[in-house]
Chains A and B, each alone.
Chain A
Amino acid sequence: MRNPYRSQKIAYAFLLLSTLLIVVPVGMIVVIIIQKGLPAMNWQFLSDIPRQGMRAGGIFPAIVGTLYLVTGAISFALPIGLLAAIYLSEYSRDNLLTRIIKLAIVNLAGVPSVVYGLFGLALFVIFFGFGASILSGSLTLGIMILPVIITTSREALESVPASFREVSLSLGASKWQTIRHIVLPNALPGILTGTILGLGRAAGETAPILFTVAAFYLPQLPDSIMDQVMALPYHLYVISTQVPNVDEKIRYGTALVLLAMVLFMNLIAIIIRHKFRKRKKW
């Protein structure tokens, strides 16, 4: 006789085990990086330029560079992504064109990041002649995070109940007024969440900035958006593989700063979402 309770117990154990396995790598990454990187943390490391061929000093230019790139990427991707999301969720009808657009967005999300790098090199650096610059890098990163922003914004817009739109229109508001005063405010937390997740992704990617902006070694801050900058992910790659005899704690310290930046952004996204869930009651 088969014992259904026994097989259920076995299945349950496997499910639990698989779920726990997800936590393990995350926990280990965080623990190891903190353990090995923390000794490097001090004010000088965060505020000084790299010295002695990146074997000493700090990573300040890389931190600043990453902040510039992230800001540039978002100021390009958020307006375009949000407007596209509004068009797709509020105005477009379901036809061949919009289905092609939606398919394009899904595929854009699946393009490997190194391909974005190559694309950015061909289009922005060479064709538009922006050279390797903050502008080229930001645009490349911006295109990379567009799908994230469009998809999450669309979901946020579509989760606003249809009855809100109906009431607003029935009160004589125009379609745009309805979007502006009713739909957008209620979708804002979701849009912000998506934006911050996009920011986190832009901060951490190496390949798209490799050919478009990142400087190998540039111990000074940029003067304009046409300058190259150092960036944390690329700097980490350089000191880990291209420069011999870099102290381990400098490598892990750099990784820790990058990880902390990304996790901090994700944390903000989680807090916004949590606050919003508590507030929303329809």
Chain B
Amino acid sequence: MTKIITNGLNLFYGKFHALKNVNSGFGENRITAIIGPSGCGKSTLLRVFNRMNDLIDGVRTEGEVVIGEKNILAPATDLVALRKKVGMVFQRPNPFPLSIYENIVFGERIHGDKVKDDKLDEIAEKSLRDVLLWDELKDRLNEPALRLSLEQKQRLCIARVIAVKPDVLLMDEPCSTLDPNATQRVEELMRELKNKYTIIIVTHNMQQAARVSDDTGFMLLGELIEFGNTETVFTAPSDKRTEDYITGRYG
């Protein structure tokens, strides 16, 4: 099943043409990696899916992006509903300066009306279990989240997104601030999570893309050059530029 389809997607920052005619389909319950050199537009593409580019002045999009049969680029799109369905994990772990518990239940407090405490407890426990933090943190829920290690913070951020019950998880270089061991554990977590979510990860780390993803897209200067099964992209790319990038000739 394809979860997200982009048709003739173009994006402009003022006059700068940042995404050029991107056509792609992202499979449900699969991890799709988007790779490419800095400035190729991979983060911009990711931020199209939850309309975070709207925060920047002078951004204009053309074409369509269909998530769950709806074109989310349509002006009438309910951004709150969209962002509940399409969650995002950022490059830098960025918990709020609140307790661990309050970080996780933030979404529920915002979205639910008259939330009962035991329901919040339930959500907190479930979300922390899903990111394999429950056993570590169950006795420390009221401690400030800023006191956690980087890896724990990033897991907490994932738990905070999961608590909102999205279908899609967008991850913007989620491991770039983590050490190799922590990176490995977060990648394992991603493999766990793909059973429930459609995951799109932007990474500049090709090994990570090769290790963790099912499909890979390669972007260069705003164009989606290659898109397909990860193994095929890495072993038998159809475009010369993909091969050059993968073998380390630029980027």
Contact = CB atoms under 8 A, between A and B. Distances in A.
A170 B110 contact: no
A186 B98 CA distance: 10
A171 B107 contact: yes
Given A170-B87, A171-B107, A172-B107, A164 B96 contact: yes
Contacts of A181: 106, 109-110
Interface of A is mostly: helix
B90 A166 contact: yes
Contacts of B157: 167
Interface in B83-115: 83-84, 87-88, 90, 92, 94, 96-97, 106-107, 109-111
B4 interface: no
Contacts of B84: 171-172
A93 B56 CA distance: 11
A114 interface: no
B57 interface: yes
A172 B83 contact: yes
A282 interface: yes
A281 interface: yes
A30 B43 CA distance: 59
Given A281-B146, A282-B146, A170 B96 contact: no
Interface string B45-66: 0000010100101000000000
Nearest to A161: B94
Given A181-B110, A280-B97, A172 B81 contact: yes
Interface string A85-103: 0000000010000000000
Nearest to A182: B96
A164 B94 contact: yes
| B interface, over-half SS | helix
Residue in A93, A168, A170 whose Cβ sees the most chain B Cβ within 10 Å:
A170
B83 A169 contact: yes
B164 interface: yes
A171 B110 contact: yes
B30 interface: no
A163 interface: yes
A279 B99 CA distance: 13
A174 B111 CA distance: 10
Contacts of B236: none
A172 B109 CA distance: 11
B97 A281 contact: yes
Contacts of B111: 172
Nearest to B89: A170
Contacts of A163: 90, 92, 94
A177 interface: yes
Given A174-B80, A177-B110, A282-B146, A169 B55 contact: yes
Given A93-B57, A281-B146, A169 B52 contact: yes
A241 B88 CA distance: 68
A166 B96 contact: no
A181 B109 CA distance: 10
**Of A164, A171, A280, most B-chain CB atoms within 10 Å:** A171
Given A93-B57, A181-B110, A282-B146, A170 B50 contact: yes
Contacts of A280: 97
Contacts of B82: 172
Contacts of B80: 172-174
B160 interface: yes
Contact of B160 (A169, A171, A177, A182): A171
Interface of A: 93, 163-164, 166-174, 177, 181-182, 186, 279-282
Q: Which 4 A-B pairs have the closest CB atoms?
A: A172-B84, A172-B83, A170-B88, A163-B94
Given A167-B157, A172-B164, 9 more contacts: A164-B96, A166-B55, A166-B90, A169-B52, A171-B106, A171-B160, A171-B161, A172-B107, A172-B111
22 contacts: A166-B52, A166-B55, A167-B96, A168-B96, A169-B52, A169-B55, A170-B87, A171-B83, A171-B87, A171-B107, A171-B161, A171-B164, A172-B80, A172-B84, A172-B107, A172-B164, A173-B107, A177-B110, A186-B97, A281-B146, A282-B97, A282-B146
